[in-house]
Chains A and B, each alone.
Chain A
């Protein structure tokens, strides 16, 4: 396999993932599997290394900027990391065709969620005054004002985090597609903090599963290296470009690509 080609494709996947806001994993796994014929477990393991590398770099920035809520992130991390271990374990035992089918289903669900977001805006669920929670704050970088918020529905967030960890470990994607909407819509966390805190949680979560894939011999460093480097570079470039390109067009492009990938994944399940 041409390592340079993998590196260049990973830059594109990381960039596109960052532009659409879903991370590189949802793109790189089908690209490696469908275009380069990499076994799906090896593609998932390589993607996990990319997820950790991207999370490490972005978290350092978010912590310095005071945007990641570590108190909340640590509590939810207990659930996501445990989910990452079980997801990695289950992923190791599952038939590759079942993994491909689950991945195809996830692609369709994310595409549908994106389509729904384009049509409506979700207002955060109002806080439950009876529910336990804690207050926190962050400094909004656009105007320097201090924004206070109250975190609530922690049990729901913990359950969703466990599911997110499982999805991450099983499919090699960041759990952000589950964590961010849960924190923002259900737990009352501002979107900027939800995104940063989710990124903070991704590294240890993906590490919990990557260890299992590595020990099982599914992690190929010569594939994971260029994937991690490429996704990392692409994600940084994508994040810089994000404000300059039309989100609507990008989301439509992703929906189209996701549906094509999903169809090919299911086709592979049927024909292999």
Chain B
């Protein structure tokens, strides 16, 4: 007998352990692990309505289970009394849920307004632009333009203007704030604030085409000093190559044949002012590449430069650049290595 009694305990313990193991994994986009006032107040509303819902659910289930057991047909059953309804009950289960809904609506709507309207004063305004499939961040007042990795000072209100160059995207950093869409021809605004130093994952949340899954970014929240240093570094122009391999890569980048310069900007260079792709002036300073989908290191960069379509299917570069859409003009292995060396030098 006792073993039967113990068995459910064993099962439950096992489940709890499994759940605990799953929870100890990193969950870089968990909306429960909040690190800013916007996400925290949104999570707060979630908990309120979840517990209210849980109470309703338990009540309804208790009624169903009780009725299903208590009123099961027995062999000698006669027809039950033919009850057609009860007006008092009808009024009760109309009014009670309405009151519950009003109770949760009040904090919910307050939070809606607080999370939509930027509190004064904001430290800065970032213009975030969605592209298939990467994010551009421009802090106009500081003159900073970067891609897929935004640095912000911790503990300060950051304003956002959200735009799109092509289709609808959505700007979402789950640990800092809920999403707001990036709609072409419609500038949206939102705000967020990071309370803790750290690296926060962001991801496009509105389906935007073939590589929607590969459209991610990072928000790096750091102290005011670190942030100012980052801004200063971002403002610097690129320096002339010193190493011969880097020089070779630079020459390929700036060549008519490869034509990288036509779409990418490298400030401080002679001719790379392209506006189509991400600004690469400080490419090597970013921790991730190809819109936050992989670590920025030599192997990944070589893989990307060799066959970008394999990394991010359907991307504009592999479609439109001659070195990728024309096998006769493909980059050789040494060329890719040199190009990678050059890009990795752009600190």
To the question of whether A and B form a pair in one complex, the answer is no
